[in-house]
Amino acid sequence: MAADVRLFSAPFEPGLEVDRFAAANPDAGGIAAFIGKVRPSGGVEALELTHYEPLTLPGMEALAREVESRWDVSGVLILHRSGLMEPGEPIVLVAAAARHRRDAIEAVDFAMDHLKSDSWFWKREKRADGWHWIEPREQDFADLERWN
């Protein structure tokens, strides 16, 4: 199947989405999935993700195509939230279906590193003293270097 890439402005159900993805890839030998959530600790009361329609989804679609060109996967799923989220809510779901596990696991790892560092999202956190914009982290760029 083709890559399934979607942007949600309201909560989604990762479990349901993984089940659907598995059903859509019946010939895969394995499926790897990563679900990222708003961290429930650390004093964050809410998280807001802003995106820019003309760039964000096309960028995620280009990432899915790159995953498909680098690994032997039969399907790629990239789902991402935008808008206002509470601690514990899912932000992102990335899954890959492949004949062999290593392709699926590495495809998900690669997609996550790229989503974290070079996808078109801007993030701010609400803490006790108000809203704070989140700057890019050095660790995210270091994670990206792993694939070069």
Partner 1 sequence: MSLKLVFLGRLADAAQAPERAVETVPSIASLLAGLEPDLSAMLGAEKIKIAVNGKIVVDRAVFTLRDGDEVAFLPPVSGG
- Of 30 and 37, CB closest to partner 1: 37
Q: Which of 92, 95, 96, 104 binds partner 1 (CB under 8 A)?
A: 92
Should residue 91 be labelled a site residue for partner 1 when binding is judged by CB under 8 A? Answer: yes
Sequential DSSP letters for 114-141: HHHHHSSEEEEEEETTEEEEPPPPHHHH
Q: Give the range of 13-21, 38-46, 69-77, 135-143 binding partner 1 by CB under 8 A.
A: 135-143
Going by C-alpha positions, the residue among 111, 117, 35 that lies closest to residue 73 is 111
Q: Give the range of 14-22, 47-55, 65-73, 100-108 binding partner 1 by CB under 8 A.
A: 47-55
Using DSSP's 3-state secondary structure scheme, residue 44 falls into coil
**Which residues touch 117 (CB under 8 Å, ≥6 apart)?**
136, 140, 141, 143, 144
Q: Which residues pair with 137 in a beta bridge?
A: none
Should residue 122 be labelled a site residue for partner 1 when binding is judged by CB under 8 A? Answer: yes
User: Which residues contact partner 1 (rule: CB under 8 A)?
Assistant: 36, 49-50, 52, 54-55, 58, 80, 91-92, 115-124, 133-137, 140
